Homo-oligomer: A and B are copies of this chain.
Amino acid sequence: MNLVERSAQQSAGEFAAVRGEAPASLDAFARAVLGTIAEPGDGVLGRVIAAVGAAAAAEALLAGAPAERLADAVGAAGGDLDEREAESGLARWRPRLDHGDFVRSLAQAGRVGARLIVPGDACWPSGVDELGVHAPIGLWVRGRSDALDGRVPTIALVGARAATGYGEHVAMESSAGLVDRGFAIVSGGAYGIDGMAHRAALASDGMTIAFLAGGVDRFYPLGHESLLSLIAQTGAVVSELPCGAAPTKWRFLQRNRLIAAASGATVVLEAGIRSGSLNTAGHAAALGRPLGAVPGPVTSPASAGCHRLLREFDAVCVVDADQMAELAGRATRPGATTRDPAAAGAVGSRPRALAADTPGARSAVDDPDAIRILDAMSSRRPRELPEVARRAGLTVIEAMAALGRLEAEGVVERRPGGWLRRRAG
C-alpha cells in the first residue's frame, strides 16, 4: 500500500461524505490532496498530473521524491518537465502538506454538504478542460453538482461591484431574459452586477451558478451569505479551493478564468476601466469564447470598461437578452466561436493587462508572483520569508525575488520581525 492509499484509508469516512454516490477513486482522493497544496492554475502541477496522473503526483509529493525522479517520471510518461521546474514545484508544494489541515478541510466540506467533482465525473464541466495545464484539479460544489454538466447552456453575466442603477437594471433584464430562453446564469457572487444577475435568475426560477475565490464553506462577501445560500439551494456555489481556504486577490483572478471557461459565452454588463470583470473577459477571449459587452452612456465611468472591450478587444455589442442568447449560440457551432481568431489571440497574449481593480495592484498585474506575495502579507504583522512563501504557494527563492521587486516599488518593507506590506496611500 503506497502513501496515497494509506492516506485515503485514514480519511475514508470524511472523503466518502464529499464524493456522494461517486465510486471511491484514488484519482479523486489524490486530486483532493493536490488541491490543498497548490494555488489555482499551477501549470507545473498541471503538467505533472497530465503526464503521470494525480495519484502518482500525490505519491511523489507524500513520499518526498527528489526533483530528479519527478522530472524523469514525467518525461518517461511523455510529458515535459525539467529538473529545475520539478524542484521549484516541490519546494512550493511541500511546505503546505499537512494531513491534519487536509482532514479538517474534508470534514468541514462534509459539514456544509460540499461535494468534490473531478474530471471524468459525468457532471464535470468539460469547458474548463480547455484551460489545459491550468485547468482546475477538482471542483467543490454546494448545491446541484450537475449544474454544469452541459445539459443546460450557460452564459456568464459579470460586471463591476460599483454598479449604477442603469447597470443593475440591465443585469436584471438580461438575466431574467436569458433564464426565459433556457440559460443558466454563471457569475461571481459579488456585490453589484454579479449579485443582480444571480438574484434576477433566482426570481425567474432559473438556475444560477456562483464561482467563489475561496472555500465554499465560507460565503464571501459576507453580505451575500443569504443570496449564496439561496443559490446553493437551486443552483450551485462552486470553487476549486478546499474548504477553509480564504479568498485572495490571486484566487479572484484565477476564479475568473473558471467563470469564463465554464460558460458558453461571457457578457460584461457594466464595468469601470479597471474592473476585475475585464479579467474574466480577457480569459473568455483567450479561450476563443464569444465575448459580449453592453454599452452604456459615454458619460458614465461605470461603462468605460465595456467600451474598452468593444473598442480594443473586439467584443460583440449586445443590448438585450436576445442578442446575448445569439452570442452564446455561436459557441455551439464549431469553428464559429469567435469573430476573429487573430483578435482573440491578441487578447490571449495579454489577459492580465485587463485585470486590476485593487490599489497597488496596478504594477503587479503583469507579475503573478507579486500578486500572490501581496496576498500572503499583512500590513500589521511582519512575516518571515518562509512563512510568506508558504502562504503565497511559492518557493522561497521565488518569494524573495518578488519581494525584492515589490520593495523597489515601495509596496513592501523589511522589518526586524520579517516582511511587512505597506498601507496604500
A-to-B contact residues, CB < 8 Å: 166, 169-170, 294-299, 303-304, 306-307, 310-311, 316-320, 323, 340
Q: With A169-B299, A296-B296, A298-B320 given, can you name 12 additional A-B contacts, CB distance below 8 Å? A: A166-B299, A170-B299, A295-B297, A295-B306, A295-B307, A304-B319, A310-B310, A311-B316, A311-B318, A311-B319, A311-B323, A317-B317
Q: Provide the residues of chain B in CB contact with A294, threshold 8 Å.
A: 298
User: Chain B nearest CB: distance from A319 CB in Å?
Assistant: 4
**Inter-chain contact B317/A311, CB cutoff 8 Å:** yes
User: Chain B nearest CB: distance from A159 CB in Å?
Assistant: 13
User: Chain B nearest CB: distance from A384 CB in Å?
Assistant: 48
Q: Provide the residues of chain B in CB contact with A295, threshold 8 Å.
A: 295-298, 303, 306-307, 310, 317
CB nearest to A316 among chain B residues: B311
Report how far A306 CA is from B310 CA in the complex, Å: 13
**Inter-chain contact B298/A307, CB cutoff 8 Å:** no
Report how far A243 CA is from B147 CA in the complex, Å: 70
User: Chain B nearest CB: distance from A171 CB in Å?
Assistant: 12
Report how far A310 CA is from B297 CA in the complex, Å: 14
Q: Can you list 9 A-B pairs with a CB-CB distance of less than 8 A?
A: A169-B299, A170-B298, A295-B307, A298-B319, A307-B317, A307-B319, A311-B317, A311-B318, A311-B323
Report how far A320 CA is from B322 CA in the complex, Å: 29
Report how far A237 CA is from B367 CA in the complex, Å: 56
**Inter-chain contact B296/A298, CB cutoff 8 Å:** yes
**Inter-chain contact A166/B297, CB cutoff 8 Å:** yes
Q: Provide the residues of chain B in CB contact with A296, threshold 8 Å.
A: 295-298
User: Chain B nearest CB: distance from A293 CB in Å?
Assistant: 9
Report how far A170 CA is from B299 CA in the complex, Å: 8
Q: Provide the residues of chain B in CB contact with A306, threshold 8 Å.
A: 295
Report how far A166 CA is from B318 CA in the complex, Å: 20
CB nearest to A315 among chain B residues: B317
Residue with the highest number of chain B CB atoms closer than 10 Å, among A170, A317, A323: A317
User: Chain B nearest CB: distance from A265 CB in Å?
Assistant: 14
CB nearest to A300 among chain B residues: B297
CB nearest to A326 among chain B residues: B311
Report how far A311 CA is from B291 CA in the complex, Å: 12
CB nearest to A323 among chain B residues: B311
Report how far A170 CA is from B169 CA in the complex, Å: 23
CB nearest to A327 among chain B residues: B311
CB nearest to A292 among chain B residues: B311
User: Chain B nearest CB: distance from A134 CB in Å?
Assistant: 30
CB nearest to A170 among chain B residues: B298
9 interchain residue pairs of minimum CB distance:
A295-B295, A310-B317, A298-B319, A311-B317, A307-B319, A307-B317, A297-B297, A296-B297, A294-B298
Q: Provide the residues of chain B in CB contact with A304, threshold 8 Å.
A: 319
Q: Provide the residues of chain B in CB contact with A299, threshold 8 Å.
A: 166, 169-170
Q: Provide the residues of chain B in CB contact with A310, threshold 8 Å.
A: 295, 310, 317
Report how far A166 CA is from B316 CA in the complex, Å: 23
User: Chain B nearest CB: distance from A343 CB in Å?
Assistant: 10
Report how far A319 CA is from B295 CA in the complex, Å: 10
Report how far A295 CA is from B311 CA in the complex, Å: 11
Q: Provide the residues of chain B in CB contact with A297, threshold 8 Å.
A: 166, 295-297
CB nearest to A318 among chain B residues: B311
Q: Provide the residues of chain B in CB contact with A307, threshold 8 Å.
A: 295, 317, 319
Q: Provide the residues of chain B in CB contact with A166, threshold 8 Å.
A: 297, 299
CB nearest to A296 among chain B residues: B297
Q: Provide the residues of chain B in CB contact with A319, threshold 8 Å.
A: 298, 304, 307, 311
Q: Provide the residues of chain B in CB contact with A320, threshold 8 Å.
A: 298
Report how far A340 CA is from B342 CA in the complex, Å: 12
Q: Provide the residues of chain B in CB contact with A170, threshold 8 Å.
A: 298-299
Q: Provide the residues of chain B in CB contact with A316, threshold 8 Å.
A: 311
